[in-house]
Amino acid sequence: MSEKQLDAQYYAKLEGLQQLDFALVELTLYLDTHPNDLHALQQFNQLAQQRQQVAYQFEMQYGPLLQFGHSYSRFPWQWIESPWPWQV
């Protein structure tokens, strides 16, 4: 796989994570004012589970998204590899 393809794949997967995060933030805000909306709560839980799976797959392929114990690292220590999440 070429570096250009890898970059496109990296950014596409990262964008997918950002879309899930956006939806989860919006649902959180909605549920703060509509705590009894069962459908919204089910949707939130489904997206939270999906986000966890997508983040795990991303980290296994590209390295950790978060630091301070929120993400695991393979050997050797991956956190020093770039780009760092805030650089993209």
pLDDT at 65: 85
- What is the residue-wise DSSP string for 17-36? HHHHHHHHHHHHHHHHH-TT
**pLDDT per residue over 1-60, tens digit each?**
556 566 889 999 999 999 999 999 999 999 999 999 999 999 999 999 999 999 999 999
The number of domains in the chain is 1
pLDDT at 7: 81
- pTM score: 0.75
Q: Give the residue carrying structure tokens 């839980």.
A: 45
Domain containing 29 equals 3-87
Outline where 1-88 has alpha helix (H): 3-33, 38-62
